[in-house]
Structure 1
Amino acid sequence: MNLLAEAFAWIFSPARLTGSLPLPTAIAQHLAFTFGSVAIAAAIAIPIGYLIGHTGRGREIAVFLSGAARALPALGLVVLLSLLLGVTFKTEAAVVAFVVLAIPSILAGAYAGIEAIDRTVIDAGRAMGMTEWQILFRIEMPLGLALLIGGLRSATLQVVATVTIGAYIGVGGLGFFILQGIGLRDFVEILGASIVVVALALALDGLFALLARFAVPRTDGPRVRAARLSRAPVPVPQVSR
């Protein structure tokens, strides 16, 4: 308990506002890497996922590539790309590594959201004379939004944790304090920085959970219809004389 209390004291210490890397600056760097990498990955993966889900083609290839990308070791990928691109492009190397790790979850959420839609709804849209683009934008994208947000949620949590290891190649972020604490054997600093990373992950997870809640389309399911019927007045049969 003393170590935990000291870790919180380290976080809120005025000394965290000074030094070569103040804590607020490290948090800003961490979030910038996270949101920037997820945004780039989304720009790549969402159109491909929608194309796969709408046409039904290339799903096996997407599943294979997603599984292969998830099997890549994060630290090894970051170090490998930094060595290939050089020290002067270490930031770009880190971003590329984070994007590669974020794409599988977003891609899976995009095409799974469309594949999960009842085909009768899409057939009804075609029967009404809607074009394929209208079906995609008016039916498939809104109904598949919840699963897409789930994919973005998973990718964001993975990236916010992986950005921590970017300190090994000197790109900043909260991993700087963890790496520095390991070198100095300062367990208070290691635990304090880890708590901040966990707090960021929980905050982002709660944000996406809230978005997913509002993304679910409101429909009259069986329970709603049953509740309405239960409140409806029961007609009294007329007895003929």
Structure 2
Amino acid sequence: MTTFENTEPVFEKDGVRLTVEDAVATVTLTNPAKRNAQTPALWRALTEAGRSLPGSVRVVILRGEGQSFSAGLDRQAFTPEGFDGEPSFLDMARGSDADLDALIAEYQEAFTWWRRNDLVSIAAVQGHAIGAGFQLALACDLRVVADDVQFAMRETSLGLVPDLTGTHPLVSLVGYARALEICATGRFVHAGEAERIGLANIAVPAAELDAAARDLSAALLAAPRAAVVETKALLRGAGERSYEEQRAAERAAQGRRLRDLAGLGD
């Protein structure tokens, strides 16, 4: 099973470390002094982490060092200068619609690969998960949270919107009305509520967070990979299919599994 501290990194750059042990990869945010605040460089490193996963990986654990999972976008983003070598918010606003769309799409890539059907991703979340940090936790399939977790979507209070892929999973998890209330008010969602409304799969004492994520990854690895991949694809697509379409998708998936188990697959 993965040991977060002692595994040789596949790479480590710009506040992100990727380690792999057998079928489990761990992506760690490594800037605890800034509460793992996010930058475009960090987003590119997260995108690279997804592209660097060996084919043997079945489960990815996402975690943050220190007291906070991620306190959101680095405040330097809100200065006129922005980050060195990166367009500031003002530069982005002055660009063409196409350029602005392309830049945001590039940033979103860091948040998209976690839901690949061949992987199950687990966010182990402690302390602050604010804005971009909240959206990064939402990018994962499952969330294990510490009892000190504080989720909040603060973009609206800054005159912005959540644009790092967080709105779709948030609505899927908690429903439209509650998602609107959480985003529009920017209030904190603590561990008990997060578990109750479906944001968190499990809440544990902070000292047990890493162990709980490892235990969940072990449970996920117990089933055959192909069955988990087919099941995840069925569940992810269920909301977009009619009842009859979902029945047909189940039949097709089960047919593939039966043929595979009988040694008759392609």
Q: TM-score, normalised by structure 1?
A: 0.24
Structure number, greater radius of gyration: 1
Structure holding more helix per residue: 1
- TM-score scaled by structure 2? 0.22
Give the strand-richer structure, 1 or 2.
Answer: 2
* Greater RCO (CA < 8 Å, at least 6 residues apart): 1
